[in-house]
Structure 1
Amino acid sequence: MVKQSPERAVITAAPDLETKSTPSRRKGKTTFEAILVTAGELLAEVGFERLTTNLVCERAGLTPPALYRYFPNKYALLAELARRLMDAQDEVFLAWLDRGDAAARTLEEAVTKGIELRTELLRVTRSQPGGMSILRAIRAVPVLQQVRIESREKVVAHQMKILAELFPRVSAAQLEAAVRLSEEVGYGVIEMLLEDPSLDVDRVIAESAWMSALYYQHLVPR
């Protein structure tokens, strides 16, 4: 009887998305990182459907037990890649908020700060192994969308606290709608730039920064 790998078995319930363990020793950490880097690279090369844990093991020069020590299936592996990407993006955005960059004094200053934010978000996304492919996997695989949702809710909650002070006359409901809309647009801009290399990156980033700045400049009680 041929034993199926976890990702080839028929899935009747949501797969486990958690890592089995986090290595503490140097050798284990090296293996853990090698698995993730290799998985990200392969995801970009072969896509989600063709990616398997066996393929990751072959490329990384590991045995399946070495991988399964940390990841129960390819979904857990992709979830960890997705969390790392979301965390990297969130770190940039939350630091931008905490510096007070959302409180621009002029429209031009708001645009400049918006350009800086989007440029850095694009940079950190590109720096992640398989960054664009991870975003595609999050969009295409329902069980991975929870990672994106958790990231979004964290950013929205933090942004709401700061913008509530900047827009005291705007209702919480209207402000939340604005925050969620602008957050999704910003996320979509990064995806668009990564998906289409023919686009003028500077122009797209600048135009999206202008859109956001003008929108918030006119965010008044309605």
Structure 2
Amino acid sequence: MSSPPPALRQPRQQRSVATRERLLDCAGHLLAELGVDRLSTNLVAERAGVSPPTLYHYFPDKYALLRVLGERLMAAQNALVPLDALQDEARIAQVLSDHVTLTRASPGGPWVMRMLRAVPQLAQVRLASHRALAAELARAALAQDPAADPARVARQARLCVDLGYAAIELVLDEPELDAAALMHDAARAIRALLQ
């Protein structure tokens, strides 16, 4: 098991926060244009209009930059999940659709999701995000039914998260599919697990 990545400097001043966000946005756009292999910190710095040392002030290397890009998307996606409203199949389908909309609107969003599955150094970003969301879902479910088996609830919550993520990836990767129907199918499966 690999050690966790080093903590990155968190900017506090508004200008520094804006520079860091611009670097992330440019990295996302370039990721979509070039892919992971051809993406470089120099290209990101050039696109963002900053010097490479400025980029390295925030991100020590390409993979640190991509890790934060992935964490940013995963956090935004997880924030869309209403822990108290997952008993309604239509609501689940809407939440999944909202994830697709958010991901498409995020700089390089679909490519960020692909990268988190395909790049071994970044897979932990996706896994950690899924584990955290599943833990929140399990806590909410156990609060509603304290007599439920915690191991079963945790397992089902984790499966629900991955079912939803797989449906989102499928819609992004196969745009010719009926997205609304697919989201309703996924919602039905998730709802069945939550019952």
Fold conserved between structures, TM > 0.5: yes
Note if contact 1:48-1:137 (Cα within 8 Å) is conserved in structure 2. Answer: yes
1:167 shift after superposition: 4.5
Residues of 2 paired with 1:16 and 1:171: CA distance? Answer: 34
In the alignment, which residue of structure 2 is the partner of 1:136?
A: 114
In the alignment, which residue of structure 2 is the partner of 1:38?
A: 26
1:181 shift after superposition: 1.4
Residues of 1 paired with 2:24 and 2:6: CA distance? Answer: 14
In the alignment, which residue of structure 1 is the partner of 2:35?
A: 47
Number of matched pairs: 194
Residues of 1 paired with 2:192 and 2:126: CA distance? Answer: 27
In the alignment, which residue of structure 2 is the partner of 1:124?
A: 102
Residues of 2 paired with 1:75 and 1:133: CA distance? Answer: 14
1:87 shift after superposition: 0.6
In the alignment, which residue of structure 2 is the partner of 1:7?
A: none
Residues of 1 paired with 2:6 and 2:33: CA distance? Answer: 22
Residues of 2 paired with 1:17 and 1:134: CA distance? Answer: 21
Gaps in structure 1 of 5+ consecutive residues: 1-12, 105-109, 218-222
**What does 1:1-222 correspond to in 2, within 5 Å?**
18-19=7-8, 21-93=9-81, 96-97=82-83, 100-102=84-86, 104=87, 110-168=88-146, 170-217=148-195
**For 1:197, what is the secondary structure of its paired residue?**
coil
Q: Which has the higher helix share?
A: 2
Q: TM-score, normalised by structure 2?
A: 0.89
1:215 shift after superposition: 3.7
Q: TM-score, normalised by structure 1?
A: 0.79
1:16 shift after superposition: 5.1
**For 1:69, what is the secondary structure of its paired residue?**
helix
Residue type at the aligned position of 2:187: A
Cα distance change of structure 1 residues 83 and 17 upon mapping to structure 2, 3 Å threshold:
farther
1:192 shift after superposition: 0.8
1:127 shift after superposition: 2.1
Note if contact 1:86-1:148 (Cα within 8 Å) is conserved in structure 2. Answer: yes
Gaps in structure 2 of 5+ consecutive residues: none
Residues of 1 paired with 2:171 and 2:183: CA distance? Answer: 9
